Structure 1
Amino acid sequence: MRRSLALLCVLLSLPLQAAQLTLELGNASRQWQTAELLQHPLAQDLRIDNDVSYKKTMHYRAVPLAALLKGVQPSDHLQAVALDGFAAEMPAEPLLKSGPARAWIAVEDPAAPWPALGPDKPGAGPFYLVWTNPEAGKISPEQWPFQVATIRRLAPVAERFPALLPAPQLAAGDPVNRGFALFQKNCLACHRLNGAGDAQFGPDLNLPYNPTEYFQPAFLRRLIRDPQSLRQWPQAKMPAFTENVLSDGELDDLLAYLAHMATRKP
């Protein structure tokens, strides 16, 4: 036991090692080392107020993400995969814009590591997708992936995972289809549904049971708005989806999609 504690102390005292960000944007992949990104000609010091992950003002050395997405088109679909299995599904268009909301890759300097996200939690490094002026783009908490290891271009979610699709006879503007779009943006980074999805972080939201089947509607809404108000534990990671991120009407649409999918289990 003493040896294990001593080894842990030694490991914690070691300096942070440089890391590698992998971009898979086509037929070839590109690896960016920490030092390369810190010295990138477009890198700059950035202040992020109300950082989604740290819940306070943070300062980073960061590179505009668009500068790294060579060959990516606004119509493309990207996925950011984190070290812990979080897989953020993101349309490329917002990531390529220079404003008003702008995406950046914050790079952790091994000589000045970022703080832990909480007790017994890691930091957000080595790479963290952050936003300036996120309110202008209605950027959700799930579009702030931290501990990013890989960013890749993929086919859209609907093509990759047909088990997520609502009934085909529904009109494009049906609340269920609107909710499906919101599910991709806000939920699919952590959760699978009908076994479909790349995330390995949270539970499946339809198998064996859909949350609309076991939560009273008011409590399900409360869970989404403020997860810690219903159940609390130190390792909880689900963020709160406030009205600034998900309006009441959008929450209605998301719940319509979930309730609909409860009738479409494999």
Structure 2
Amino acid sequence: MRHCLALLALLLSLPLSAAQLHLELGDTSRQWSSAELLAHPQARDISIEQDVSYKRPMQYRAVPLAVLLQGVGVNDHLQAVALDGFAAEMPAAPLLQQGPARAWLAVEDPAKPWPALGNGKPSAGPFYLVWTAPQASGIRPEQWPFQIASIRRLASVEQRFPALLPDPKLPADNPVRQGFALFQQNCLACHRLNGAGDAQFGPDLNLPHNPTEYFQPAFLRKLIRDPQSLRTWPQAKMPGFTEAVLSEQELDALLAYLGHMAGRKP
């Protein structure tokens, strides 16, 4: 018995096993272990002034994401899939730029794990997409996916999921079209609509019913701005979208898209 306890204590004292990042970039695929990325020749220590997930300044060992995206072009489309099913849709161009905002893949060292994101929650690791100078390029919170398991090059959202498209007869300057772009940026990472999308995180926003059909307008805006102020439970995960993230005009456009899609169910 004493021998078993000593062995258990030894195992608990060992560093956590290295994680694997899967890159599927069209014609090429690659796996990187956390150890390989921590030792990458371009890895460096970076400071994030206001981390989106931790809500405070953070320090990371990170690799410029662009150096890992060999063969990816500025017109390509990428998707970062997290361990919990969160699927962030990302145009490649901002990820490849050298500045002013720059994308980094922060890598959690198994020997020095990051803090938990909250009580009973894991850390943001093993891999976390963070940005230096994000405000310089209008980077949104949904462009900071954490607990990343894989990054894939895919066709655009419009090509993959035609069920998300608004009526093609709408004028180019119709707010619904802007709302569709905002839906992709802010909602599609967690939600599907008309059964279309890759996320496994939140409910479908049109089937069986669209939220514009069962929420009074003022309460739907309140839900988007501060979900916990409208309804709360311990497992709630939806973030709030402040005016700094989604302006009133942008929220109007997003709601216009949702209301429009209530009439475009399959």
Measured against the shorter chain, the TM-score band is over 0.9
* Residues 1:101 and 2:101 aligned together: yes
Residue 115 of structure 1 corresponds to which residue in structure 2? 115
Q: Give the match for residue 74 of structure 1.
A: 74
Counterparts in 2 of 1:167 and 1:13: CA distance versus 1, 3 Å = farther
How far, CA to CA, are the matches of 1:236 and 1:15 in structure 2?
31
Specify every segment of 5 or more residues in structure 2 that has no aligned partner in the other structure, as ranges: 1-8
How many pairs were matched up? 259
Q: Does 1:36 align with 2:36?
A: yes
Code of the residue aligned with 1:260 in structure 2: it is: H
**How far off is 1:234 after superposition?**
2.6
Distance in structure 2 (CA, Å) of the matches to 1:116 and 1:13: 19
SS, match of residue 235 in structure 1: coil
Larger Rg: 2
Aligned to 1:257: 257
Q: What TM-score comes out, normalization by structure 2 length?
A: 0.93
- Aligned-pair Cα RMSD in Å: 1.7
The aligned residue for residue 231 of structure 2 is 231
After superposition, where does 1:165-204 map in structure 2 within 5 Å?
165-204=165-204
Q: Encode CA deviations 1:223-251: one digit per residue, 9 max, x unaligned.
A: 11111221222322212211221111111
Which residue is 1:6 aligned to?
none
Instruction: Report the alpha carbon displacement of residue 110 of structure 1 after superposing the two structures with TM.
Output: 0.6
Instruction: Please give the alpha-carbon distance, in whole angstroms, between the structure 2 residues aligned to 1:135 and 1:231.
Output: 31
Cα distance, 1:84 vs. partner? 0.6
Q: Could you tell me which residue of structure 2 aligns to residue 241 of structure 1?
A: 241
Give 1:11 deviation, angstroms. Answer: 8.9
Hey, what does 1:19 align to over in structure 2? Answer: 19
Residue 28 of structure 1, CA deviation: 2.1
Of 219-228 and 64-73, deviating more is 219-228
Tell me, yes or no, if structure 1 residue 55 matches structure 2 residue 51: no
Q: Distance in 1 between matches of 2:79 and 2:123?
A: 21
Match of 1:5 in 2: none
1:84-128 CA-to-partner distances (Å, cap 9, x unmatched) read 100000101111111111111000001100111111111111000
Contact 1:161/1:196, CA 8 A, preserved across alignment: yes
Percent identity among equivalent residues? 77
Contact 1:125 1:146 in 2 (8 A): yes
Paired residues of 1:38 and 1:62 also in contact (CA < 8 A): yes
How far apart are the structure 1 equivalents of 2:47 and 2:227? 28
Tell me, in whole angstroms, the C-alpha distance in 1 between the residues paired with 2:199 and 2:12. Answer: 29
Q: Helix, strand or coil for the counterpart of 1:252?
A: helix
Residues 180 and 11 of structure 1, relative CA distance in 2, 3 Å threshold = farther
SS at the partner of 1:89?
strand
SS at match of 2:158: helix
Q: Secondary structure at the match of 1:193?
A: coil
Q: 1:161 to 1:10 in 2, by over 3 A?
A: farther
AA aligned opposite 1:130 = V
Shift in alpha-carbon separation, 1:72–1:247, aligned structure 2, 3 A? same
Q: Which residue of 2 aligns with 1:151?
A: 151
State the one-letter code of the partner of 2:95: L
Aligned counterparts of 1:209 and 1:239: Cα–Cα separation in 2: 21
State the Cα distance separating 1:257 from its structure 2 match: 0.3
What pairs up with 1:77-96 in 2 under 5 angstroms? 77-96=77-96
SS at match of 2:259: helix
Q: Deviations over 1:168-214 (max 9, x none)?
A: 10122211111001100110000000000000000000011111111
What is the Cα deviation at residue 41 of structure 1? 1.4
Q: Give the secondary structure class of the aligned counterpart of 1:23.
A: strand
Which residue identity is paired with 1:86? F
Distance 1:60 1:233 in 2: 32
